[in-house]
Amino acid sequence: MTGTVYLVGAGPGDPRLLTLRAAELIERADVVALDALVSKEIGARIPKTAKVIYVGKRASAHAVPQDQINQILIDEAKQGHMVVRLKGGDPFVFGRGGEEAEELIAAGVPVEIVPGISSSIAGPAYAGIPVTHRAHATSVTLVTAHESEGSTGIRWGALAQLDGTIVFMMGFANLPMIAHKLLEHGMSGARGVAVISKATTFEQRTVTGTLRNIEARVAEEKLETPALIVVGDVVSLHDTIDWFEGKPLFGKRVVVTRAREQASELKRMLEDSGAQVLQFPTIEIAPPESWDSLDRVIASQYDCLIFTSVNGVNAWFERVKDVRKIAGTRVAAVGQATADALRERGIQPDLVPERFISTDLLPLLAEDQRGVRTAVIRAEEGRDELIDELRARGGEVDLGVAYRTIAADYDLDELRALIENDAIDVVTFTSASTVDNFFGKLTPDERTRLLQRALIASIGPTTSEAVRRYGKEPDVVAENATIRALHDAVCRSAVAKPPLSDSRAAASLPHS
């Protein structure tokens, strides 16, 4: 039975613009024929069991000729495979998807087209330029302009007479020729022009000008490919609607060291504020070596239960059979995030210290703990100061080990390259263990270089204390121990950092 080939648009660069249908198909694919302009975040959705065939194209450098790509798709489908042909942008907008569809249908291979968001629309939108606007443009024309002046089939005379917006794709190298041809055929030299480099990505840069001066302005700003050229009166709206490049963390690279399963909220917040987020999870949350201590706590009655983290709350609720057993028991939560996790499960904590430090509970607890039974639910490697002090006050204290943190393995090559090129703006830490595991992976020279050039952001006092052990006072400390507070503190501090230098731009990560 012949498999289906799905011609799928991956969108313009920002991986969050991938469509739901595209994501579903990528995650089910047997074979993926992958273009160069597909981001690594989208590529990470490809199943490990899938066969990946790189058929990338950049400018005149073609990894695989088009006729061979067509044959690969046919051959893989006729072996019964579900094939995803994953293209940057939209497969039918200068993506040769139409040619591939014709060849597949002629060979008797079923085809489905999955449109993607085209950079011709998304790029200007991310630059604050609407391609149509009632007051400025009632039409938009898309032009591929990567051919030489001698071979191009563009009707410049007709193009120069258009009142609407013109978007040139794949024409950055021919910008001088484009400006010359439009001027030669009668377009006003005062007509607005924008060149958008690496559109919708962390490294997007937009330069505006007119047909007369855009070449000089682009050369001065040293823009890089890939880039779009937008011609039209709508370019004047860039300064007014510049929503993307004006975000507080735009142009900043922020490292998140939190465990991958916990990092999504912080990553989302930072990306929503314009940052490029690099995940280097230094720890993983693992079950304890034995559940015995937690199960004994769950089976017993206590006067007070103390939860020191969200992870402890999650583990406790995964194993508890009947929460009604804690009716009448005082519940304490260390940190607002822990308190919120309890509230989400219908338990209102009685005690929450202002800071995310377990010993800050002590002033809230009775000096005389005689006859008081307390259970502390925490990580296996947690600190014992709280337990020791409660026992010193005469209390009976049991420990329920709910989880443990273990060092995570991750590829250091990318991180080391960024450190070498001073390409990291902020490193965020959410626990002492993330600090120790992160810096423990680096050489002394790498630690020194990073600490001198990047902002170090800490979620709270215990984490800050761990940072100080490496000879650095944290640059950023959250007002309270929550992910939101850490994000807000990073936004306030990072805006003072200078923009990317040329050397840092050269160290850019792969993008689409």
Q: Tokens 């030299």 map to which residue?
A: 189
Calculate the CA 178 to chain-centre distance. 35
Active site residue 252: no
**Comparing C-alpha atoms, which of 490, 64, 17, 444 is closest to residue 252?**
490
Active site residue 295: no
Round to whole Å and give the CA distance between 65 and 54.
Answer: 12
The helix (H) or strand (E) run that includes residue 493 is helix 483-494
DSSP 132: -
Q: Which of 57, 87, 252, 267 is catalytic?
A: 57
Pairing of strands 51-54, 57-58: unpaired
Amino acid at 449: R
The alpha-helical segments, DSSP class H, found in 232-309 are 238-241, 264-272, 292-299
Calculate the CA 509 to chain-centre distance. 12
Pairing of strands 426-429, 455-458: parallel
Helix axes 175-184, 214-221, angle to 10 degrees: 170
Neighbours of 291 (CB within 10 A): 16
Q: Which of 14, 35, 90, 425 is catalytic?
A: 35
Residues designated catalytic:
35, 57
